[in-house]
Amino acid sequence: MISIGIFHMKGGVGKSALTVFLADFLSSIHEQRVLVVDLDPQGSTSKALIPEDKIDKAFKSGLSLTALLRHACNGGVTKEQVECCLLHREQTGKARKGSVPLGALSVLATHREDWRELNEEINSLERTKRWRFLDVLKDALAPVKDDFDIALLDFPGSEILFWTTMGLRATDYWLLPEIPDFFSIADIESVVELVHEAQKNSTHTIHPLGTLLNICPDRKSDTYRKARAALSALEDHKAIPPLFSKEAEVLHRPEAMKATDWGSEGSKTLVSRYGPATKPFHVGLRKLAKELLERLGRSSGRDKLSVVANLRRKLRDFWRS
């Protein structure tokens, strides 16, 4: 299992929406076994993927990511304990012409009250003792590392130093979402600093996966052009992970956000979840998922939609010849 941290300290850059999109597209089109680790106590990513009553039921039974972290703090986590805390989305329906069923995936959700208590307990420890617990998330995920291809880690939008560092210590590859906005780009320095800090005094390495221009409203605008130029300059200095291509950027598409609305987790296919009117958006997300896998050296060659399109093209050429 490779873990990808979708990390920016700034709120509202689309980390959670992007986590949901990637989870959907990687599991549905590329048949990756995806685990979503929702580190945000607000739980919006978990709720976009799993029905809320299922999450509540698990929480009431004491099953959550926070419960696992407590086990890890207290000496260790068994595979059975992790499996009990996983919330599953099963694949429903079969692929039909032009319709891809949403892939199966699993989610670990953060219990908000437990999270507050755990943070308070850890923050009340002496500094040296506190930092001993930095690897608890990595330890908690270790028992299921052979059961998933990719873990997507969604970070909360504020800097809670212990929690953020713990997430980064479980991150193999860093995906930096950036919006074309001056304040967001001006914040990059502190984000980069945190990623470096998290690796200090540890053997853990966080590899740069990519910087993604996210929620792009208008590529013709001056703001977009300046943002892309600023990020390219930072990329040239190797200060940030390499930019994803323009075709892989995520467009501003409010109508596609129904994919993250309450109730959308009941959808069965990509089209019913994202809406048929958002084709350029779909194409971009497919391109992003593909580029991401290529960068990981995991090009699946299993983009189901492309396979069907290629087959159709080949048949047509054969027929015409």
Residues that bind ligand ATP (CB under 6 A): 11-17, 40, 156-157, 215, 250, 252-254, 257
Q: Which is nearer to ligand ATP, 48 or 141 (CB)?
A: 48
Contact flags string 250-289 toward Mg ion, x per CB under 5 A: ----------------------------------------
Distances (CA, A) of 218 to 105, 180, 224: 33, 10, 7
Q: Give the one entry of ligand ATP, Mg ion, none that residue 257 binds, where binding means its C-beta sits below a cut-off of 5 to 8 angstroms depending on kind.
A: ligand ATP
Binding to Mg ion in span 217-256, by CB under 5 A:
none
Rounded-to-integer distance, Cα 249 and Cα 266, Å: 27
Q: How many CA atoms lie within 13 A of 46 on its CB side?
A: 27
Distances (CA, A) of 242 to 187, 245, 283, 296: 17, 9, 21, 13
Neighbour-count burial for 231-251, b at 16+ CB within 10 Å, e otherwise: beebbeeeebbebbeeebbbb
Q: Which is nearer to ligand ATP, 9 or 151 (CB)?
A: 9
Q: Give the one entry of ligand ATP, Mg ion, none that residue 17 binds, where binding means its C-beta sits below a cut-off of 5 to 8 angstroms depending on kind.
A: ligand ATP
Closest to 305 in 3D by CA, of 282, 280, 272: 282
Residue 18 CB, shortest distance to ligand ATP, in Å, is 7
Residue 193 CB, shortest distance to ligand ATP, in Å, is 18
Q: Which is nearer to Mg ion, 45 or 211 (CB)?
A: 45
Binding to Mg ion in span 15-74, by CB under 5 A:
15-16
Residue 152 CB, shortest distance to Mg ion, in Å, is 12
Residue 270 CB, shortest distance to ligand ATP, in Å, is 15
Residue 250 CB, shortest distance to ligand ATP, in Å, is 5
Q: Which is nearer to Mg ion, 147 or 187 (CB)?
A: 187
Residue 146 CB, shortest distance to ligand ATP, in Å, is 29
Give the three-state DSSP class for 210: strand
Q: Give the one entry of Mg ion, ligand ATP, none that residue 253 binds, where binding means its C-beta sits below a cut-off of 5 to 8 angstroms depending on kind.
A: ligand ATP
- Contact between 111 and 66 under an 8 Å Cβ cutoff? The reply is yes
Amino acid at 264: S
Distances (CA, A) of 159 to 18, 224, 307, 320: 19, 26, 42, 60
Q: Give the one entry of Mg ion, ligand ATP, none that residue 11 binds, where binding means its C-beta sits below a cut-off of 5 to 8 angstroms depending on kind.
A: ligand ATP
Binding interface with Mg ion (CB under 5 A): 15-16
